[in-house]
Amino acid sequence: MTETQKSPSNGPTKGRDFFIEMAKHPRSRVIMANTSDTYMMADITRQGDIIISRLRDELMRSITIEDFTRYMDEYYKIIFGLEDHLQLIGSMVGIDYRPSRTYKSMKKKNNQDSMNTPTET
């Protein structure tokens, strides 16, 4: 017996083969969930990806640049806070936390921008 089956509308196959094909996609990430907390973060990440993608699509149509910037600034503030918090927790349990590449490049850019901004006197 095979592990795949056609959906009722003869759409894409379901089951293990479907997920194997999805994992082959260049933009996919496979997450091993060791705790229920990881399942929660994976669900949040999946929904966030959909929502942020739609937000970008709506920019200049129904979302102003000011609102977009405010939403994205808050979004990154929360993500940076999570990265910082995980780094703190990791240090407490003896794990050397490796921040994401995007986090490191954005932190570097923010530091460079703040160094290039004249100070008020």
Query: pLDDT tens digits, residue range 16-25?
Result: 888 889 889 9
Please report, for residues 43, 67, 73, 106, the alpha-carbon distance to residue 101 in angstroms, rounded to integers and kept in the order given.
21, 26, 18, 9
Q: For residue 119, name the pLDDT band (cuts at 50, 70, 90).
A: low
What DSSP string describes 50-85? HHHHHHHHHBTTTB-HHHHHHHHHHHHHHHHHHHHH
Question: Quick check: helix, strand or coil at residue 13?
Answer: strand
Assessment of whether the complete model's pTM goes beyond 0.75: no
Higher pLDDT, 22 or 6: 22
pLDDT tens for 55-104 read 999 988 999 999 999 999 999 999 999 999 999 999 999 999 998 888 88
pLDDT at 3: 46
pLDDT at 1: 42
Q: What percentage of residues in the chain have a pLDDT greater than 90?
A: 51
**Does the pLDDT value for residue 13 go beyond 80?**
no
Radius of gyration from C-alpha coordinates of the chain: 20
